[in-house]
Amino acid sequence: MARRVTIQDVADRAGVGKVTVSYVLNGKDEEARISPATAERIRAAAIELNYRPSAVGRMLARSQADAVAMVFQYGDYFGAQTAFISEVMRCVCKACVENQVDVVLHTKLASDPLTEANNFTDGRVDGVLMIRDAEDATYLELVARDFPTVLFFCRSDQPNAHYIACDNQRGGRMATEHLIHLGHTRIGMIRGGMGSVDSNDRLVGYQAALNTSGINFDPELVVEYHGADGHSEDFLALMQRPDRPTGLVVWSDDAAFECIRLCNGIGLNVPGDVSLIGFDSTHACERSNPPLTSIRQPIELICAEAVRLLLALRKSPVDATLCRQIFPPILDVRQSTGHPPKNSSTMRSSTK
Amino acid sequence: MARRVTIQDVADRAGVGKVTVSYVLNGKDEEARISPATAERIRAAAIELNYRPSAVGRMLARSQADAVAMVFQYGDYFGAQTAFISEVMRCVCKACVENQVDVVLHTKLASDPLTEANNFTDGRVDGVLMIRDAEDATYLELVARDFPTVLFFCRSDQPNAHYIACDNQRGGRMATEHLIHLGHTRIGMIRGGMGSVDSNDRLVGYQAALNTSGINFDPELVVEYHGADGHSEDFLALMQRPDRPTGLVVWSDDAAFECIRLCNGIGLNVPGDVSLIGFDSTHACERSNPPLTSIRQPIELICAEAVRLLLALRKSPVDATLCRQIFPPILDVRQSTGHPPKNSSTMRSSTK
DNA sequence: TGGATTTGCTGAAACGGTTCAGTATAATGT
DNA sequence: ACATTATACTGAACCGTTTCAGCAAATCCA
């Protein structure tokens, strides 16, 4: 097994010190005033010897990795990787390509937040991009260690938090207003998990929209989505009420697809009988039957800003206005939303 | 800015040499015969000082990274990340979690294969998992350097290639046989790119199945899929022929969805007028209208084996039978395939 | 009681770079 | 001819760990 060719080998071959090689191979021959002739000799030697620099040696010397970690909620690692996460990964990679840093997916999960944080602060990455709740213990630990960390698709009230998020309250409001503008007055919400900040935000927006339009908020029209299983009972109960909603703001696209399926199962047509609007506006929205109206987060923009912020953090303190950015969502109207049925005001009669 | 706590600091605090600390903190105190009392003292010191080992120092010393690179075809980095790639990423991560190695997504793409290969052999990863054509220059360079590299979802004839693939010939055959068993005799193929080994393999399987059943192979029934754009002309021409096929074996699920859309556009019902079978059996198959019959690759199995093989390669030469494995695909029957229309033998009459 | 073995620990080298603070030589200015 | 400055390069320290070989003291065996 041949020994690895080191920078010293190149130096010997070119008849210079290894320092000089380092400067030349890093393109710093100008500022270090290496003569063109020497530089050329060094480059030739490197090629002859098939020299491949060791990134690890470089990382150690520079105390910088030129890489960032990308981490998601616990479940998303193993379980169903949603189209949303998939798109986020794509956009983060794209931003990292532009900034010439690599992406590391850490797999050494630990139950203990201290240990988990160690995985990130061990020098292999310069910072962490996280989709986690703002109260996540690992996140808090990283912040406490002053390690460059950016939360994205999530906001935080931590004093020195950095995050790039989407305005979920506004998203909830936009979705609800869309239904209201179409004439709906009885609007339900299929919400996400109770612990989810995103879901709570959207609920706030939903209530705000109702309020502005003078529609009473009815807590009975809000049902939690528990994933494709266990979801049906509550939902069916809601939709079989005599005064069932004619419009639904649904937690995610996937949840909305499930709702459509369940509605069809009990003879309700979308959007004829009930209008549905989802969140995320994934590609599947275009292919579903009917194509799903959905609220889209500007994923590419958010990822690009998050990466930019993270990389800025490694150097100096960052201008406060860049540390916390919230972008508005976008409404993609498709065919799952329409006017409420004509007899919707006399809906009660359908029970007989 | 406080200096990083090093292993030497811990050693000083505990009153031992740093070597001893290394042994204890790596759980090798037994074999290095460190007394329990000393071990305990060291562990306490590490906690007191808040010692976080540097992975980079460790990587340098051990010449091992405990990480693998995962790389895809060029386009998949930026462009549409398909549901297939997304599932592959999930499964690779899962396998890596089980094996306790991290995953690195390299972003420093280079046009020059030599340079690109350097990205992988620079010590940050122990090996590379690739979805690339067997003739890919970067792949060949890695193999030439004897760097642990495993091709997956792709086979190669290189003498010392390592790969874990799915039997695409068999997949093409299974898909075609499924249609034949349903009674189809006029079966077309919407194939992938001409350069794609996968697509060629499936075509071979398709022809083999026709041949076995005594159906003549008609090259006019094979049309290349060019992505959602530019695809329609050739396809529509095929489907508007008087002797159009009643069954289609389609390159991918996404392509099949597009075909369904185009068929519907010219008044053809799926599966009433034409049966369609896709490849990949992604989640979207269940939600499409009609749900798409599809050939599934055992992604999780292939990813798990690929990771296993790659990690085995870092140590010693690997048993030849494990170096090249080909797994059979699976047929998922849904509702986009059915019997051919009754009048299919008199199809020509539909032109009048 | 003396030699062999075990126990408990460590010194030094290795891993492969980068960067600071020079130094020796050559060129320039007066 | 001498002081000054620019040019071209380098020595040594540093980054933080692991591992090999070996050493001193304690224990064992006959």
- Asked if residue B56 keeps its beta carbon closer than 7 A to nucleic acid strand D, the reply is yes
Distance A64 CA to C26 C1' (A): 38
Q: What pLDDT, on the 0 to 100 scale, is given for residue B87?
A: 86
User: Cβ A81–B89 below 8 Å, yes or no?
Assistant: yes
Cβ(A202)–Cβ(A249) below 8 Å: yes
Q: What pLDDT, on the 0 to 100 scale, is given for residue A230?
A: 66
pLDDT tens string B108-164: 877 789 999 999 999 999 999 999 888 889 999 999 999 999 999 998 888 889 999
Cβ(B276)–Cβ(B338) below 8 Å: no
Residue B54 touches partner A, C-beta closer than 8 Å:
yes
Amino acid at A108: K
Residues whose CB falls within 8 Å of the CB of residue A253, separated by 6 or more in sequence, listed in order: A83, A278, A279, A280, A281, A282, A284, A285, A292, A294
Residue A49 touches partner B, C-beta closer than 8 Å:
no
Nucleotides of C under 7 A from a protein CB: 7-12, 14-20
* Measured distance CA(B275)–CA(B183) in Å, rounded: 11
Looking up tokens 């059996």 gives B281
CATH superfamily, region A67-167+299-328: Response regulator (3.40.50.2300)
- Asked if residue B18 keeps its beta carbon closer than 7 A to nucleic acid strand D, the reply is yes
Give the count of alpha carbons within 13 A of B24, CB side only: 23
Per-run averaged pLDDT (10 residues), chain A, 352 residues: 86 93 91 89 94 96 95 65 83 92 89 90 95 90 93 88 95 98 96 88 97 95 82 88 95 91 91 96 84 96 96 82 92 96 55 33
Chain A residue with minimal CA distance to B290? A289
H-helix or E-strand spanning residue B61? helix B55-62
Whether the per-residue pLDDT at B263 is higher than 70: the answer is: yes
Q: What is the nearest CA distance from B352 to chain A, expressed in angstroms?
A: 33
Residue B81 touches partner A, C-beta closer than 8 Å:
yes
Residue A316 touches partner B, C-beta closer than 8 Å:
no
Distance B23 CA to D15 C1' (A): 21
Class of domain B67-166+299-328: alpha beta
> Contacts of residue A96 in chain B, CB cutoff 8 Å?
105, 107
Mean pLDDT, rounded, for B171-189: 97
Distance B6 CA to C10 C1' (A): 18
Choose the closest CB to B102 out of A93, A106, A288.
Answer: A106
Q: What pLDDT, on the 0 to 100 scale, is given for residue A75?
A: 60
For B66: left if phi > 0, alpha if psi spans -120 to 50, otherwise beta; the answer is: left
Residue B105 touches partner A, C-beta closer than 8 Å:
yes
* Measured distance CA(A60)–CA(B243) in Å, rounded: 68
Q: What pLDDT, on the 0 to 100 scale, is given for residue A80?
A: 52
User: Cβ B101–A83 below 8 Å, yes or no?
Assistant: no
Amino acid at B156: S
User: Cβ B123–A54 below 8 Å, yes or no?
Assistant: yes
Q: What pLDDT, on the 0 to 100 scale, is given for residue A104?
A: 95
CATH topology of domain A169-297+333-351: Rossmann fold (3.40.50)
Name the nt closest to B8 by C-alpha to C1'. Answer: D16
Name the nt closest to A38 by C-alpha to C1'. Answer: D8
Chain B residue with minimal CA distance to A57? B60
- Asked if residue A17 keeps its beta carbon closer than 7 A to nucleic acid strand D, the reply is yes
Number of Cβ pairs < 8 A linking chain A and chain B: 127
Name the nt closest to B14 by C-alpha to C1'. Answer: C9
Distance A256 CA to C23 C1' (A): 74
Residue A5 touches partner B, C-beta closer than 8 Å:
no
The b-or-e profile of A115-152 (16+ CB within 10 A means b, else e) is ebbbbbbbbbbbbbbbbbbbebebbbbbbeeebbbbbb
* Measured distance CA(A298)–CA(A165) in Å, rounded: 9
Chain B residue with minimal CA distance to A85? B86
- Asked if residue B304 keeps its beta carbon closer than 7 A to nucleic acid strand D, the reply is no
pLDDT tens string B24-69: 999 998 888 899 999 999 999 999 999 999 999 999 999 999 999 9
Long-range contacts of B219-224 (CB under 8 A, 24+ apart): B221/B186, B221/B187, B221/B188, B221/B189, B221/B245, B222/B188, B222/B189, B222/B191, B223/B188, B223/B189, B223/B190, B223/B191, B224/B190, B224/B191, B224/B192, B224/B193, B224/B194
The CATH number assigned to the domain with range B7-53 reads 1.10.260.40
pLDDT tens string B62-80: 999 999 999 987 665 544 5
Q: Which of A48, A49, A51, A52 to mutate to test the interface with B (most CBs of B within 10 A)?
A: A52
Q: Which of B221, B230, B227 is nearest to B249 (CA)?
A: B221
Asked whether the domain spanning B168-296+333-351 has the same topology as the one spanning B67-166+299-328, the reply is yes
User: Cβ B123–A57 below 8 Å, yes or no?
Assistant: yes
DSSP helix/strand/coil, A105:
strand
Residue B19 touches partner A, C-beta closer than 8 Å:
no
Choose the closest CB to A56 out of B78, B86, B124.
Answer: B124
> Contacts of residue A67 in chain B, CB cutoff 8 Å?
104, 124
Residue A19 touches partner B, C-beta closer than 8 Å:
no
Q: What pLDDT, on the 0 to 100 scale, is given for residue B346?
A: 41
* Measured distance CA(B102)–CA(A2) in Å, rounded: 27
Distance B54 CA to C24 C1' (A): 39
Chain A residue with minimal CA distance to B5? A122
Whether the per-residue pLDDT at B339 is higher than 70: the answer is: yes
Nucleotides of D under 7 A from a protein CB: 7-12, 14-20
Of the options 3.40.50.2300, 3.40.50.970, 3.40.50.20, 3.40.630.30, the CATH number for the domain spanning B168-296+333-351: 3.40.50.2300
- Asked if residue A32 keeps its beta carbon closer than 7 A to nucleic acid strand D, the reply is yes
CA distances from B132 to A177, B139, B171 (A): 47, 7, 19
* Measured distance CA(B314)–CA(B121) in Å, rounded: 13
Burial label, A43 (beta-carbon count in 10 A; 0-12, 13-18, 19+): middle
Q: At what angle do helices A7-14 and A18-25 cross, to 10 degrees?
A: 100
* Measured distance CA(A62)–CA(A119) in Å, rounded: 19
- Could you tell me the strand order of the sheet in which B330-332 lies? B222-224, B187-191, B247-250, B275-279, B293-296, B330-332
What angle (nearest 5°) sits at the alpha carbon of residue A249, between those of residues A246 and A255?
A: 110
Q: What is the nearest CA distance from B333 to chain A, expressed in angstroms?
A: 19
Domain ranges of chain A: 7-53, 67-167+299-328, 169-297+333-351
Residues lining strand C at under 7 Å (Cβ) are A 3-4, 6-8, 18-19, 22-23, 25-26, 51-54, 56-58, 60-62; B 15-20, 23, 32-35, 37-38, 57, 60-61, 63, 123
Choose the closest CB to B93 out of A77, A96, A287.
Answer: A77
Choose the closest CB to A105 out of B103, B118, B289.
Answer: B103
- Asked if residue A35 keeps its beta carbon closer than 7 A to nucleic acid strand D, the reply is yes
Note the maximum CA span of chain B: 97
* Measured distance CA(B230)–CA(B182) in Å, rounded: 31
Tell me the two tokens of residue A34: 């290496």
